């Protein structure tokens, strides 16, 4: 909440998660999602569902232990690492299966340390969610990931299935760089309610799954702006 001369203002939140249902895009070979009635109001007097989901389904977080032996699990990631100011970088000019290079994004990082610990790549691929097109997406080159880590970026978010290609010749280079450095990846963001170039506050909190390598998240963004009267106003919910 924010105090102003007119009282307390509650910022409106923008949901940057995809809805979980039977039509979600899933990494090939991963478990499918299911939400099945277990009890019903009509039969039992209350409603309970049985949920089956992979740890990397939907909008989700990759913990270091996803690839790194003895890496941090979801429940061990510091929460303050997952809430903060983020820069949304425009890479919408990239086509399916093309590479996002360090040259494409380095102008946002002119100094040895990034002003943002959370960086999000906006490809525009969220519009293909749930379709075959979603599985052919722009990928990030390994060198770009190394440069981001060198500039102390702690969380990389993407609006695609992964920053690495599916069974690509370069393997899982971005995963190895970020998770190997005990950092975090966030995948399958739904950025349709935001604009490339935005600077926003985000929250990427996972379920507290003991010993788990990833978790679905309810990703949120919010942004404040100054009104003509000088009071802080919340960004309208998209």
For every one of its 238 residues, what pLDDT tens digit does the chain have, with 9 covering 90 and above? 444 445 556 678 999 999 999 999 999 999 999 999 999 999 999 999 999 999 999 999 999 999 999 999 999 999 999 999 999 999 999 999 999 999 999 999 999 999 999 999 999 999 999 999 999 999 999 999 999 999 999 999 999 999 999 988 889 999 999 999 999 999 999 999 999 999 999 999 999 999 999 999 999 999 865 444 333 344 444 3
Q: What is the CATH number of the domain that holds 211?
A: 3.50.30.50
User: Quick check: is 115 in a domain?
Assistant: yes
CA-closest candidate to residue 198, choices 225, 163, 162, 228: 225
Q: Please give the tally of structural domains in the chain.
A: 1
User: Quick check: is 49 in a domain?
Assistant: no
Please, what is the end-to-end C-alpha distance for the chain in angstroms?
19
Burial class (CB in 10 A: 0-12, 13-18, 19+), 100: buried
69: containing domain? 13-18+55-234
User: Quick check: is 219 in a domain?
Assistant: yes
| pLDDT at res. 169 | 81
User: Quick check: is 7 in a domain?
Assistant: no
User: Quick check: is 26 in a domain?
Assistant: no
User: Quick check: is 134 in a domain?
Assistant: yes
User: Quick check: is 203 in a domain?
Assistant: yes
User: Quick check: is 218 in a domain?
Assistant: yes
Neighbours of 209 (CB within 10 A): 15
- Locate tokens 């939140």: which residue? 13
Q: Say how far apart CA 191 and CA 160 lie, in whole Å.
A: 10
Structure tokens at 185: 């990846």
């Amino acid at each position: 909440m924010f105090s102003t001369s007119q009282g307390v203002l509650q910022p409106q939140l923008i949901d940057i998660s995809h809805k979980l249902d039977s039509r979600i895009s899933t990494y090939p070979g991963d478990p499918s999602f299911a939400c099945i009635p277990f009890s019903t109001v009509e039969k039992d007097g209350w409603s309970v569902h049985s949920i089956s989901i992979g740890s990397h389904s939907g909008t989700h977080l990759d913990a270091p232990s996803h690839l790194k032996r003895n890496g941090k699990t979801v429940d061990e990631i510091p929460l303050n690492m997952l809430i903060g100011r983020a820069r949304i970088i425009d890479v919408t000019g990239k086509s399916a299966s093309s590479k996002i290079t360090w040259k494409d994004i380095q102008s946002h990082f002119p100094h040895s340390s990034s002003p943002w610990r959370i960086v999000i790549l906006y490809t525009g691929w969220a519009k293909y969610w749930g379709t075959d097109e979603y599985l052919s997406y722009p990928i990030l080159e390994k060198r770009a990931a190394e440069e981001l880590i060198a500039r102390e970026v702690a969380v990389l978010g993407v609006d695609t299935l992964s920053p690495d290609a599916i069974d690509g010749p370069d393997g899982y280079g971005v995963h190895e760089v970020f998770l190997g450095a005990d950092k975090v990846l966030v995948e399958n963001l739904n950025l349709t309610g935001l604009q490339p170039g935005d600077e926003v506050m985000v929250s990427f909190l996972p379920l507290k799954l003991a010993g788990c390598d990833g978790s679905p998240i309810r990703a949120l963004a919010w942004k404040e702006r100054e009104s003509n009267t000088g009071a802080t106003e919340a960004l309208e919910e998209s």
